Amino acid sequence: MQYRTLGRTGVQVSSLALGAMNFGSIGRTTQEEATALVDAAVEAGINLIDTADMYGDGESEEMVGKAVAGRRDDIVLATKAGMPMGDERNHRGGSRRWLVTALDDSLRRLGVDHVDLYQIHRWDPATSDEETLSALTDLQRAGKIRYFGSSTFPAHRIVRAQWAAHEHHLSRYVTEQPSYSILQRGIEAHVLPVTEEFGLGVLVWSPLASGWLSGAVREGREVTTSRSAFMPAHFDTTLPFNRARLDAVEQLAKVADEAGLTMIQLALGFVTAHPAVTSALIGPRTPDHLRAQLAAADTVLPADVLDAIDAIVAPGTDLAPHEKYDTPPALLDPSLRRR
């Protein structure tokens, strides 16, 4: 396992991190299975575990808490808040009112007195940066969080938040958690240059592109991934953007074969090769998934393989741009781009 410094914090984290979104109802994972995954991940050298309050309505945090009990100090524990937790309109977002409550709820579910990294799950356009950063700074000073970060923020919001912290003498975001894979490279054009400029740690999610890069999605083969059952349009290869992804996957499979790598090793080795990336979040549901992903822990792709990937999917390109999660609201809501 490789280890890198998380931004400018001085904290050393593994280049592969365990994402716990599949713990509980989302991945149909029991507590025993979740604990076994944590055991195997930690034994393999993973020391960063990432979850969120909204994963299974808190179920993932509860499972993570039980799985790390007795070894809390050996793990860099990260969670997130900001996404809706129920129908109450104020049980979401980045307001002080909600974040104070949300963190206490997360600490209770995790069974700990602090988390190492507390992340704002999505940018909240209804709340000022000063409001959110002020609340997070106070929670940090209270000892309930060690550091805080953002998740899936547009590049301009990352910059604005850094300036707001400086302007109001508040602590700043020290990490960003964006979506990044061979098939979705848009952040190379805007987010990653910004994180490098400000010295942020970067924890990338969906490095296997929701299963497209796992080796399970191939030409002429029925798609049977768990996500295809509840996201059928995401894998419908009659749609042009999915056809483009499948064509790329077929070409990438040849590159992997010639290099003596699995598709998973190629995909994870690609994202961890970028100098701006600290860790890639893996989200296994089963021990077999975890073993296949851990096989990429020490994968270092040579320049010719990286060049071959660039020739298939150009740097800074998203093959499915409609699936981006940091799109400016005005691109989605016509009323916001018309006077």
Q: Which residues are catalytic?
A: 55
Tell me if 81 sits within 8 A of 120, measured CB to CB: yes
DSSP letter string over 265-323?
HHHHHHHHHSTT--EEEE--SSHHHHHHHHTTTT----HHHHHHHHHHS-TT-BSSGGG
Q: In this structure, are residues 164 and 150 in contact, taking their beta carbons and an 8 Å threshold?
A: no
3 state SS of 42: helix
Place of tokens 């499972």: 63
Hey, which bits of the chain come out as E strands? Answer: 3-5, 12-14, 16-19, 48-50, 76-81, 115-120, 145-151, 175-177, 201-204, 279-282
What is the Cα–Cα distance from 119 to 294, expressed in whole angstroms? 25
Beta bridge partners of 282: 18
DSSP 258: H
Give the H/E segment covering residue 249.
Answer: helix 240-259
Tell me which residue of 121, 180, 110, 168 sits closest to 149, measured CA to CA.
121
- Cα(42)–Cα(45) distance, rounded to whole angstroms? 5
Helix axes 129-141, 155-167, angle to 10 degrees: 60
Residue owning tokens 């998740």:
151
Helix (H) / strand (E) containing 227: helix 226-230
Q: Please, is 71 exposed, middle or buried when counting C-beta atoms within 10 Å of its C-beta (0-12, 13-18, 19+)?
A: exposed
Distance separating alpha carbons of residues 70 and 79, to the nearest angstrom: 19
